[in-house]
A and B are shown apart, each in its own frame.
Chain A
C-alpha cells in the first residue's frame, strides 16, 4: 500500500480548509471571492439585486461616521488627525506602542491604568495582526476598499468598568469598514457598535481575544429604512477566553451578516446571541459559522426572531464544524422564529459537521411557529387587551435572550424597540381595518 501523505490545504490565514459547503474559504484577495450568481448554497436565500451595491467592489470608499460615545460626549473616530505636537506618541509604561500608528488616540478608560487605543487600521496592519481573512465578497470588498480602517485595542490586563459605545451613523452614501478589535490577555471589556442612519455599508470586522480575555460584544443594526448592510463579524477566541456576542437586527432594507468563531487554544467559550425583528419587506440574514477547531472549547448559539408584514424575510444559518482534533468540545445552537402575520417567511437551517466522536456534546434545535392563540386567549381572559397581550408574548419570547445581554442600556433599548415595532404593526392593522370598513 503506498504510504501517501496528503498535505492539508490552507487558506490565507493558514487555517486548514475542510472540503465542505459549510466551510467558507477565507481570502484577503477580492478576486478569490467571485461575484455570486445566486445559485451558490451560501447565496441562495439572498435577494442579490438588493445587495448589488455591496458586491460591486469599489476602491477608496470612506467609513461610516464613527464616534466613540464618551459618556454623552461624542469623540470622532472617522479621521485620525496627525499626531498632536504636544503629545508625540505618548507612551505609558506597559503600553506597547509599536503596533499603533502615531495617529492613534490613547485613552485611559475608567478602571484601567493602561491606555486603550483607538486608531486607524491599514491593510498591512490588519494582515500583520494575524486577523481572519474575509469570508465573502462583501467583506473582501470592504477590507480592500476601505480608506481608513479602525482599530480598537484594549491592553492586556485592562478591566474596563463601562462599555465602549461606538455610534456608527450612515450618511446616505456607500461606506466601507475595515475594523479590528483586540483584547489583550486577561483584559475585560464590553463593546457596543450601534449602527443607524442610511447607508450601503460593506463591513469587515474582526475581533481577537487573547488568553483569558473576556469580551461582551454587541452589534445593533438600527438602520433607517432603505439601508443595506453586509459583511462579516469574525471572532477568534484565545485559550480560556470568553466571548459573549449579541447581534440585534431591527432596521434597514437588507442586513446580511456572516458571523464566525474560531479558537486560538483550548478551553475558549463563545456565546452567540441574536435578536431580530423583521417588518414588511425587510430581509435579515444571519449566517453563523462556528469552527470548533480546538479541544475543550464551548459554543452556544441562541438566535430569536419575530416577523410581521408582507415580504418580511429572515434567514438563520447555523453551521458548526467539529474538527478531528477538537476533543471534548461542547456545542449547542438554537434558533426560534415567531411569525406574527401572514406573508412573512423565516428560513432556519442548522448544520452540524462532526469529524470526531470524542466530544461532550453537540446539538441543535430550530423552531418556527405562528403566534399562539391560546396564550393570547389566556392573557385576554384576564382583561388584558389584544395589543398588550401580543406585546407581552413577544417580549416574553425575546426575554430569555435580552436578560442575558448584561448591558442595561442595551436591554432597555431593545425592550423599547420591540414595543415600538408591535405598536407600529397594530396601528397599521387598525388603519387597514378602518379602510376596509369604509370601502365596504
Chain B
C-alpha cells in the first residue's frame, strides 16, 4: 500500500519579516500505483509543499493533515517520516563535505532497515548497479555527497537513492530542472523503473512538461498561489504546454 492523503494543508514559512502563509489549503490524494504531476508557476508553493511534507524546520504546518498509509506525517520528525515511507527528491540537493556517497547510502539504508546494516557481500554491488543505471561511475561512491557535483549529477544521485532506498511514496521536486535532454531521459527511466513495481506512489513536481513525455502521469494538478486550482489527465499538461499558466494565475488572483 502507498496512499498519501493530503487534506486542508496550510503552511507558513519563516522569513526575515516574520511568518508568511504559503500553502492555503492543499487537498491531494496519491493512491497506490499512481503517478501524479504537480505543475505550477514559479513561487506558487510547490517546493513549500515538498519541504513541508518532509518536515523541513523552516516550514510550519498550521492546519491540515498528511497521512501516509494512515500514519500522520505532520507529527513525526524528519527521519521518522522517511521511516514511514516518504522520500523527497530535492530541487537543490545539499552538499555534505567529507561524507562519501557510499557511507551516506549505507547509513541511510541501515537507518531505514531498523538499524540492520545491509549485507557487505551484496550491498556494494547493488549500489554500483544503481549508480550505473543512472550513468554514474563506481568512483562516484567515494565522492563527498553532492559536493562539487554538476547539476545533472546531483539529480541522478537523487534518483539512485530513490531506487536503492525504495520508499513507499516519492515526492520529486523539479527533478528535471537543470538537466539536458539525455539526462532527463535517464532520470525519467529511473522514476519509471521505481513506479513499475506497481505498489508505490509518485508525486512529480515540475515547472515544465518536458519530463512528462518520458514519465506519463495518471493525474495532473495545476498549482497556483498555494493551492490546487485544476485537476485532470495528461491532456491538462498538453494544454499548459500551449497556453502556459497565465489563465490560471489570473483566475486565482
Contact = CB atoms under 8 A, between A and B. Distances in A.
Interface of B: 54-58, 77-79, 81-83, 87-88, 90, 93-99, 103-104, 107-108, 111-112, 144-145, 161, 165
Interface string A382-399: 111110110011011111
A392 B99 contact: yes
Contact of B111 (A377, A378, A383, A398): A383
Contacts of B97: 396-397, 399-400
Could you tell me the dominant secondary structure of chain B's interface residues?
Answer: mixed
B94 A384 contact: no
**What class of interface size applies to chain A in its complex with B?**
20 to 34
A160 to B, nearest CB: 30
A195 to B, nearest CB: 26
Interface of A: 372-375, 377-386, 388-389, 392-393, 395-400
Interface centre among A378, A383, A400 (most CB of B within 10 A): A383
B188 to A, nearest CB: 22
B171 to A, nearest CB: 10
Contact of B82 (A381, A388, A392, A396): A381
B111 A385 contact: yes
A393 B56 contact: no
Could you tell me the dominant secondary structure of chain A's interface residues?
Answer: helix
Given A373-B57, A377-B57, A382 B96 contact: no
A397 B99 CA distance: 8
B98 A380 contact: no
17 contacts: A375-B96, A377-B57, A379-B104, A379-B108, A380-B55, A380-B77, A380-B78, A381-B54, A383-B165, A384-B79, A386-B77, A396-B96, A396-B98, A396-B144, A397-B97, A398-B98, A400-B98
Contact of B103 (A372, A386, A392): A392
A376 to B, nearest CB: 8
A430 B87 CA distance: 28
A385 B79 contact: yes
Nearest to A391: B107
Interface centre among B82, B96, B165 (most CB of A within 10 A): B96
Contacts of B87: 381-382
Interface centre among A386, A393, A395, A396 (most CB of B within 10 A): A396
Contact of A384 (B56, B81, B111, B144): B111
A88 to B, nearest CB: 54
A274 to B, nearest CB: 16
Nearest to B54: A381
Nearest to A402: B98
A378 B77 CA distance: 13
Nearest to A378: B94
Contacts of A397: 97-98
A378 B90 contact: yes
Contacts of A389: 79
Contact of A382 (B58, B77, B98, B165): B165
